[in-house]
Amino acid sequence: MQDHHYISSAVLDLEVIHDILKNRKKLALSDESRVNIEKSRTYLNNKIKASDAPVYGINTGFGALCNVKITPEKLTELQENLVRSHACGTGDSVSKPVIKLMLLLKIQSLSYGNSGVALETVERLIDLYNNDFLPVIYEQGSLGASGDLAPLAHLALPLIGDGEVHFEDSVISGAELLEKMNWNPVKLQSKEGLALLNGTQFMSAHGVYALLKAYKLSYMADLIGAISVDAFDCNLSPYDELVHMVRPHRGQVKTAERIRQFLKGSEIAESEKASVQDPYSFRCIPQVHGASKDTLSFVRKTIKTEINSVTDNPNIFIEEDKIISGGNFHGQPLALGLDYLAIALSELANISERRIYQLVSGLRGLPNFLVENPGLNSGFMIPQYTAASIVSQNKQLSTPASVDSIVSSNGQEDHVSMGANSATKLLKVVENLNSVLAIELFNASQAIHFREPAKTSEKLDKVIQSFRKSVPVLTEDRTMAPFIKKSKVFVDDFEVEEFLD
């Protein structure tokens, strides 16, 4: 197996990123990327020598200071001042996996030859990635418009011997890292600081991370939902292919197909039913889960475009002999997509909680709150409360950030996407969905115990037996929190071979 991923113009997509992360591949520049980077830098150097005309971010100030001309001998100082002054992050630290994705996506964006950075700068970013020297970055500070300025400034600080870095199991200063590695600080040339800070890599890294988690949780929602279907002794007819081919939304068709596969061979599913219809939280799993799948597909397309794009400013076009100041750093496509994804994942949790509620309600031959001797025992009464509180928080977190804006930089930057806020709250929704699905599995595995000796499908039985190694059937009241925690770990660690479809 190849142990390196070569940065190139080849499309970077979720499968490729999943492979890079799963197999802990190192990064390296392809010859194509090296040529593109060097040509762009040479073009920019020659352009500066040939003319002293003001070009935004190259020999001018930034934002509302764009009309202030900077002399050639001050250009390095200008770029380093930019990085230091913009490192204004606060709040919780960004997780290491997301920081690593930020590095990967920033390297990819700079590799196309439209940014004017020096090869040395990109190679140092690769060194940080390959050695897991991950800059300390904070969640708060980006408006998601002039690029993710504050978080990307923190990403860039170690290049110039500033900021902080995760080093093995500790945090050290950027200066200490240079000393330990015997590296010289990168001397930022014209435009380089701006190229590092302009970009959407904070938002897009969160989006990639959330999507990888979301695709797996979408699969788990189907799997756990199928266990609940048998636990509640539901009819199979709502999953019949004929129903879905007359309303063929792709996600709906896919979900129904999965449920049929999961329940194939189930004695419970194939038994005669006393109830003609089931509650919507069971009967409409294909429609609800499917709509979330279709949202995943839409957001995936948006993020795929974004991570294969140039999102700094200004952009260099060598063949056309143009340096153009535009707005590719504006995060509106991501902000809308990440808000949409949060809503879609919240709905998976919402319908999951409704199934939990039905399972503990003493219906379909199940005991009240899924426990023997209810009254003496409260059983699974309160895990439903926990799920309900989480689902309610998700509803609050699903209020779109992208409909907000605020004026900054003396009115120069008068519309912003707030996509960074969309990104950070999305990760909380992802975490919450994991928790609710874990509680559903906890309940459904208990409920299906009361269907014995009738059996569920072989596939689902294997899942349940594996789950019961850490979470047993409960015959009397126990402290529930440890079992919920173990359930969350089970869902998080569950191996799904192919889930990115």
357 is an active site residue = no
Answer left, alpha or beta for residue 408, where phi above 0 means left and psi between -120 and 50 means alpha: beta
Cis peptide before 54 (omega within 30 of 0): no
Phi, psi of 64 (to 5 degrees): -70, -10
Burial class from Cβ neighbours inside 10 Å (0-12, 13-18, 19+) for residue 25 reads middle
Please give the torsion angle defined by the CA atoms of residues 425, 427, 433 and 436, in that order, rounded to the nearest 10 degrees: -80
Provide the 3-class DSSP secondary structure of residue 118.
coil
Contact 177, 157 (CB under 8 A): no
Q: What are phi and psi of 166, to 5 degrees?
A: -75, 120
Active-site residue, from 56, 129, 209, 215: 56
Q: Is the dihedral of CA 103, 109, 112, 115 positive or negative?
A: negative
Q: Which residues contact 117 (CB under 8 A, 6 or more apart)?
A: 37, 40, 41, 110, 191, 192, 195, 196
**Tokens 């591949």 -> residue:** 25
The position carrying tokens 């390296």 is 28
Which residues touch 16 (CB under 8 Å, ≥6 apart)?
A: 5
- Picking from 462, 455, 464, the residue whose alpha carbon sits closest to that of residue 271 is 455
Active site residues: 56
